[in-house]
Amino acid sequence: MHTRIFLIGFMGSGKTTLGRKLAGKLKYDFVDMDHLIEQTSGMTVPGIFSEHGEDLFRKWESDILKEILRMDHVVVATGGGAACHNNNMTLMKQHGLTIYLQLAPEAIRDRLLKSKTQRPLVKGKEPDELLEYIKELLSSREGFYLQSDLVIHGINLHVEELLNAISRLD
Ligand code: S3P
């Protein structure tokens, strides 16, 4: 069994919820990248975007990933853009098991509309505009996401199914 598991995918794809459950089942630690960035910087993700801009957020995201690579027995919920910037995807693949939770743009939109998490990239977008934005961003990102060792449909995904898919890889 891999000792470092990275959950990858678009905002709202369930990385944090499933990641926490998966970590519980495996008795691993659970790390949420965004949460760690917030703890380390003393700022919220929307605050970082508005005060310093996305470029600095991406730098801090890559810095945090390097810290995480030193941890063991850990399930990591990555931020939706983490796999698509710098050489983060390559690093994650070299140091652990990467799993893409794949969802259709419509399902992502429905999840994001219900979500209480503040996400600067989608803030204030109306449902139609949001769907177009998701389609565009997903098509530019999916080339990265699809490099994952395992691609699994994220809709109605139960942790047991995820666990079974992981053990089939070993
Ligand atoms: C982002 C996704 C967010 C967070 C930031 C940027 C993105 O994480 O890192 O708002 O670029 O897709 P979640 O995927 O956990 O929402």
Q: Is the CB of 119 under 6 A from ligand 1?
A: yes
Q: What is the predicted pLDDT for the residue at 170?
A: 73
Helix (H/G/I), strand (E/B), else coil: 77: strand
Mean pLDDT of 70-88: 97
Q: Is the CB of 111 under 6 A from ligand 1?
A: no
Q: What is the predicted pLDDT for the residue at 2?
A: 86
CA 35 – CA 79 distance, rounded (Å): 10
Mean pLDDT of 32-48: 97
Say if residue 49's pLDDT is above 80.
yes
* Higher pLDDT pick, 86 / 169: 86
Pairing of strands 4-8, 74-77: parallel
Helices 15-26 and 159-169: crossing angle, nearest 10°? 70
On average, the pLDDT of the chain sits at 96
Lateral strand order in the sheet of 97-102: 29-32, 74-77, 4-8, 97-102, 150-153
Mean pLDDT of 25-34: 98
Helices 33-41 and 54-68: crossing angle, nearest 10°? 110
Alpha carbon nearest to ligand 1 atom 4, residue: 79
Go through the domains of the chain in sequence order and give each one's CATH number: 4-162 (3.40.50.300)
Q: What is the predicted pLDDT for the residue at 1?
A: 72
Q: Is the CB of 9 under 6 A from ligand 1?
A: no
Handedness of CA 67, 21, 3, 8 (dihedral sign): negative
